[in-house]
Structure 1
């Protein structure tokens, strides 16, 4: 029987070998069907494995309370202060210019950059010999003119006597009495005297004196140099008053109680300003007062300038001997309007222009709209919208909304003023918020 099967297979193979088209069809069927079977098997395997996998446990989202820092809203009397900056300038500063020309024959040792002088001190002298000779010549001309005038007067008197003898009672003419000649002589004398005055004036101008008490900024020439009239010899300033030009915005003008074109009048309450700067590593302060404001706004910066003055800056107006000198850049704090019984909160508690976040007793957040009087770097002054003792949120909050759950890190109602006094507690609270330890 085996032999019969073998014979049948041999016979079948022989038939297939004799039919090449059939053999090609079988190979093509294997090539196309086999990949499809593999893909179907893989899909079936993935479905079976997915069905056998355990389903993950579902977990409900828990909303965590937002940790916050708070501070108390307190009642206080507040005097608004405006902070600004400006440069110190002398009120009076001029160039020293001679009115006559010549060689500088003498120069004061105090007439040097940084030197001090008093009113009337000689700063320098111009060689005066030429001007002295002009005075001598002018005096000679005056003496000559006086002689001519005297001679004309004498001749006029003689002419009058002669006319009285021969005039037969008639009135003598002006020419007969030599009145034109006398007038000419008088005019020549007046001219000669004017020339003498001018020569003496020019001679006096060879000595240049200080017009006020002050100090020297610069000196441009040295002794022995020749100068012309109008040459700038140096620059000096008076040290009796210093001005500080302080820029102010509209809001700062309001808080300082100033207006456009303000002029301080004697008898009015002065608007004081505290000026400060670091001089040689030492913090110095000076007391000044606002004396005037500009009558127009600066077109480039849109600010109005106020002028503060400090009197006797190198003497009584100095701070323990530290003067407020020209060119010094100082900070100014202007005392303004005073408000009584207003609410103050830390500046960090103010959100935007007029909102404050309140931490309620039930650990929820409330958003309140407030009326702000003024703000500075440290605090905000509130007219209305808050109550004394409200716990205001001072830490940042994203997406704040009414009713949001919060967790107070340092309870302001329990610690009170200790929050602002004990910085270590506040630092610890801030670290806890950053680390996310409070829920």
Structure 2
């Protein structure tokens, strides 16, 4: 009994000591205080505000095309005797160069026949003209004779009135005058008929001269020549075939007149026009991407499209491409897709920044002296291939933020890198 009470007392004493030790350790343990959070500083890139005059480039896209293009067709129907070795796809032909020779036999025969008919008509005309000259001479002689006979009649009548002549002599003189008048009348009528035949025959001569000219042209047209200096394409002719005016034997693309058709937005075209009217003659740069290479050709705006489609929202222009003096050495061809660079207007005293630096609300952030961001409104007045031109009241030299990050906002602390 006594031993049981001693064990119970010992257990309670150990428990009291343990509780007292816990309480002491709790009360004497150091207090844990949380550390205040540190402010994050964002690493950013910025550029000093530099104001200058800028002239950006407008970039448009278009296709190269020949200023002139023609379907080469024969003007007569005949068998093909010869095709030039230069009439091949991709070849360069010179103006006036013989490309195709057709059989001229039938047309030469027709020409000789027309020339014979013309000679016959001219001979007939000469005959009528000779007859006209003969009748004209007779008429002139008859008129002279009539004047003499009329004068003799008047003389005889005067003598008869004075009793120095007989009535018979007067009658005889009057009869001779009447015969002379009839002769003059007949020759006048004959001369008029001859002149009418001459006019008719002259018309026949004109008609047959036209026939000779047409036949001569047909003979010349049996030789097909290049109408201008051109690249050749779509050749479809061979020796021995029969060619007709309805057949296209090749297509010619003018080599000395390559041009690019491209479109500019209305606002860009309006800036180019300015106060001087259409921007004709303005220089452009034409870039043709060929694999890894970019070939650049100079050019000038040559003309503006005759009509404007209001639904397209732009204006079509044509730039004449200067491929150099020797078109044969120029690699560019019709159909090439190219970029056209045109100088925009000059913007005075503007700030140029990457387009990503400007927010959708047309604001930028500047870095204050304490390293904190301030939001500033700007006006975008121009663009230049991924960069924007701004008008703003930002002081020159101020650091303007050129990067964006999720926590971007006024008062955010940043550190400019680089």
- Tell me, yes or no, if the aligned pair for 2:56 and 2:384 is still in contact at 8 Å: no
Cα offset, 1:322, TM superposition: 4.7
SS at match of 1:144: helix
Partner residue, 2:163? none
Does 2:73 align with 1:97? yes
Deviation, 1:137, is: 0.4
Instruction: Give the superposition deviation at 1:155.
Output: 3.2
Q: How far apart, CA to CA, are the structure 1 residues paired with 2:327 and 2:368?
A: 52
1:173 is displaced (CA, Å) by 5.5
Q: CA deviation at 1:369?
A: 0.6
Q: Using CA pairs below 8 Å that are at least 6 residues apart, which structure has the higher relative contact order?
A: 2
Q: Give the 3-state SS of the residue equivalent to 1:170 in structure 2.
A: helix
**1:89-128 mapped onto 2 (5 Å cutoff):** 89-128=65-104
2:242 equivalent in structure 1: 226
- 1:124 & 1:368 partners in 2: Cα distance? 74
Query: How far off its partner does 1:373 sit?
Result: 2.0
SS of the residue corresponding to residue 55 of structure 2 reads strand
Report the count of equivalent residues.
Answer: 347
What CA deviation, in whole Å up to 9, does each residue of 1:230-251 have, x standing for no partner? Answer: 4222110221121111211123
Q: Which residue of 1 aligns with 2:302?
A: 291
Matches within 5 A, 1:78-227: 78-160=54-136, 164=141, 167-168=180-181, 170-172=184-186, 175-177=189-191, 178-227=194-243
Where does residue 347 of structure 1 map in the other structure?
A: 355
Which of 369, 389, 392 does residue 384 from structure 1 map onto? 392
Q: What corresponds to 2:317 in structure 1?
A: 306
Alpha-carbon distance between aligned partners in 1 of 2:285 and 2:293, rounded to the nearest angstrom: 16
In structure 2, the partner of 1:336 is: 344
- Alignment counterpart, residue 394 of structure 1, candidates 402, 405, 418: 402
C-alpha distance 375-273 of structure 1, shift in aligned 2 (>3 A) = same
Unmatched 5+ stretches in structure 2? 1-31, 143-178
Distance 1:197 1:232 in 2: 25
Distance change in 2, residues 1:405/1:234 (3 Å)? same
TM-score of the pair, normalised by structure 2: 0.74
Determine the structure 2 residue equivalent to 1:251. 267
CA contact under 8 A between 2:135 and 2:187: conserved in structure 1? no
Scaled by the length of structure 1, the TM-score of the pair is 0.71
Provide the C-alpha distance between the structure 2 equivalents of 1:257 and 1:342, rounded to a whole number of angstroms.
21
1:405 to 387, 405, 412: 412
Counterpart of 1:323 in structure 2 is 331
Higher mean C-alpha deviation, range 93-102 or range 60-69: 60-69
| Worse overlay, 82-91 or 286-295 | 286-295
Q: CA deviation at 1:294?
A: 2.5
